[in-house]
Amino acid sequence: MMKKIIAVAAFLLCTTAAQAGIVMGGTRVIYQEGKREAAISVTNADTHTPYLVQSWVENYAENDKARVPFIVTPPLFRLDPEQNNVLRINFIGASLPRDRESVFWLNVKSIAPTPQGEVNKLQVNIKSKFKIFYRPNDLAGDPAKARSS
């Protein structure tokens, strides 16, 4: 009996609190050539904390310093508790391969406010990366089937 009590007490001590934050509306973005924009939703699932959301696009290869052919709007905004917004990804023109998809990174950083009056507190901000696939019209195959795989 004593072992069970110790096991339950140890289990209760190991539990951690989970806090909801920024939730993205997908795991990737497919930008079809010729479309005006691609979009992905951003939701603040927290009931009390507003977040500052920063977003940008970068090349897939970390050492590739070429200009990125996409912009994200809005690049920086405040997201109040239980609210949502849409990130719009626009193609600003560049010569990309016509015989294959091109891959880029969409970065989304959520920044929580710093609590007032509390000192010596560790604050963690999350940066998430999502793939953007630029799909030329000349590619064979159905993009809807590719998305579901």
Domain locations in the chain? 20-114+121-140
User: Which pLDDT does position 15 carry in this prediction?
Assistant: 57
Assigned fold of 20-114+121-140: Immunoglobulin-like (2.60.40)
pLDDT of residue 143: 62
pLDDT at 140 (0 to 100): 75
Res 14: pLDDT = 65
Amino acid in position 38: A
Q: Rounded CA gap, 14 and 28, in Å?
A: 34
What pLDDT is stored for residue 148 in this prediction?
62
- Cα of 100 vs its chain's centroid, Å: 24
Tell me if the bond preceding 97 is cis, omega within 30° of 0: no
pLDDT reported for residue 114: 84
- Structure confidence at residue 144 (pLDDT): 65
- Residues in the chain with pLDDT < 50? none
Looking at residue 66, its pLDDT comes to 86
Q: For the whole model, what pTM was predicted?
A: 0.79
Transcribe the chain into DSSP letters.
-HHHHHHHHHHHHT-------EEES-SEEEEETT-S-EEEEEEE--SS--EEEEEEEEESSTT--SPPSEEEESSEEEE-TT-EEEEEEEE------SSS-EEEEEEEEEEPPPPTT--S-----EEEEEEEEEE-TT--S-HHHHHH-
pLDDT of res. 146:
61
